[in-house]
Amino acid sequence: MDKDVAGALVKVIATVGIVLGILTILGGLLILILGPTLLVGIINTILSSVGESLGAFGGFIAGALILIGVLLLISGIFGIIVSVNLMKFKEWARISMVVLSALSVLQALMLVFSGGIISLIINGVILYLLGFNEDIKKLFITQ
């Protein structure tokens, strides 16, 4: 593979990573802002129509949503940091992306029967290119 092509592939992967990081942060913010109040309120409204209430479980749901929102924020920020440094051909960023892609491949394998085939293909290609393609690996060693 030509060095320019290998570099371009890395930049495409990094750009996708940045976009996904931004979307993950937005999702985390949305869950943090709307999740606890809106979801618990909707569930309580539905339950109150049949004479029930969430009670203390509503607090548990709200806490879980806050935790999920914070984890998404951290994940998105980490994804952006890794992707920006992938564009700079930092070896640690390549290894981080290989690990993240391998975990995503495993996740997609578990979800393959429920529509995870696209995610499996995308992350499999990223894993191959960054983890096993010697021409791309050379880009990170020479920087």
Buried-state track 42-79, b at ≥16 Cβ within 10 A, e below 16:
ebeeeeeeeeeebeeebeeebeebeeebeebbebbeeb
Q: Structural domain boundaries of the chain? A: 3-141
Model confidence pLDDT, tens digit, residues 3-44: 889 999 999 999 999 999 999 999 999 999 888 777 777 777
Return the H-helix or E-strand segment holding 90: none
Residue 37 is given by DSSP the state I
Among 67, 76, 86, 73, smallest CA distance to 9 is for 86
pLDDT of residue 51: 67
